[in-house]
Structure 1
Amino acid sequence: MSDITIYHNPDCGTSRNTLDLIRNAGIELTVIEYLKTPPSREALADLIQRAGLTVRQALREKGTPFMELGLDNTALTDAQLLEAMQEHPILMNRPFVVTPLGVRLCRPSEMVLDILPQAQQGPFTKEDGEVVIDERGQRVR
C-alpha cells in the first residue's frame, strides 16, 4: 500500500495534471475516485483540517448543485456543509493529496510539488500547454 493518496476525479484536468506530476516523480500511489468512493464525513473533515482549510474553502461551486442547495448561505455550519458534501461528493473540491509531508488541496496542480517526497524525474507540461517542470526536472517558476 502506498503512503501517498490522491482523491481524484478523472474528468478534472487539474486532478489529472496532479496525478501525472506525482507519477512523474516515479511514485506509485493510491488513487481514490472520490465520486465513486467518497471519504467518510470524519475522513473528509480530517483532510480539510490537515490541509489548513475551512470546510467552506473545500467546497466546489462550479459544476455542482452548490447554489441549488443554498450553500452560499453563510449561516450554514461546518456540520451542515460536510453533510451536503457527503450527500453530493461532487461538492468536494479536488484533488486532495495526502503524503508523509502533508495534505494539500492541489489547485493549481503544481501545489503537489511542495509535499512530494521525491523529485521530478523529467520534464512535465500540463494539459493546457503550461510547462511546469523543465528538461532537468526542475520547477519552472
Structure 2
Amino acid sequence: MADITAYLYNKCGTCRKAKKWLEEQGIAYCEVPIVDTPPEKEQLRAYWQQSGLELKKFFNTSGQSYRELGLKDRLKDMSEEEMLDLLAADGKLIKRPLLVAEGKVTVGFKEEEMEKTWK
C-alpha cells in the first residue's frame, strides 16, 4: 500500500493516539501539520467524496474555531462550496486526524475503523 498522508496536529490527543496506532501496526505514513498546511479546497472535495461521509463530518465540532464562528447553527444553511472554503481556510476546523491514501479516507480516530481501513 502507498504511504498514508496523515494530517495531524501535535497538540491533539486523538492525533497522538492515531500516530501511536499506526506506528504499532508498522504502517508507514507521511505527517502533514494540518494547522500549518491544511488540505486545499479541491483536495478536501476529493477526500470528502472518497470518504462517503457527509461533509459536516469533516468539521471539528469541539474546536475553538468552530465555536467562534457559530457553525453549530450555521452549517445546516451553508452550501457545500461554503463549507469547503471554510475547511480549506482553517486547518483547526478540520476533524482530525485526517488520513488519506489511494482512495481511502478516515476522519477522526476509531480503532475499529482504522483496523478495517488501514490494515
Which TM-score band applies after superposition, normalised by the shorter structure?
Answer: 0.7 to 0.9
- The letter for the 2-side match of 1:83 is D
- The letter for the 2-side match of 1:55 is L
Q: d(CA) in 2 for partners of 1:70 and 1:99?
A: 32
Q: Greater shift after overlay, 41-50 or 59-68?
A: 59-68
* Count of aligned positions: 116
1:58 aligns with 2:58: yes
Q: Give the TM-score normalised by the residue count of structure 1.
A: 0.72
Cα distance per residue 1:65-92 (max 9 Å; x no partner): 2233232221111111111112221000
Q: Give the TM-score normalised by the residue count of structure 2.
A: 0.84
Cα distance per residue 1:10-61 (max 9 Å; x no partner): 1111111111111111122111111111111010111122121122111112
SS of corresponding position for 1:47: helix
Tell me which of the two structures has the higher relative contact order, counting C-alpha pairs closer than 8 angstroms and 6 or more residues apart: 2
Provide structure 1 residue ranges, at least 5 long, that are not aligned to the other structure.
118-141
1:107 Cα deviation after fit: 2.9
Provide structure 2 residue ranges, at least 5 long, that are not aligned to the other structure.
none
Partner of 1:12 in structure 2?
A: 12
Aligned sequence identity (%): 27
Which protein shows a greater Rg? 1
Q: d(CA) in 2 for partners of 1:103 and 1:51?
A: 5
- The letter for the 1-side match of 2:42 is E
CA distance 1:63–1:106, change in 2 (3 Å)? closer
- Quick check: 1:9–1:33 contact (8 Å CA) kept in 2? yes
Partner of 1:67 in structure 2?
A: 67
CA distance 1:54–1:14, change in 2 (3 Å)? same
Partner of 2:38 in structure 1?
A: 38
Partner of 1:116 in structure 2?
A: 118
Q: d(CA) in 2 for partners of 1:82 and 1:94?
A: 16
The list of structure 1 runs, each at least 4 consecutive aligned residues, that deviate by more than 4 angstroms after superposition, is: none
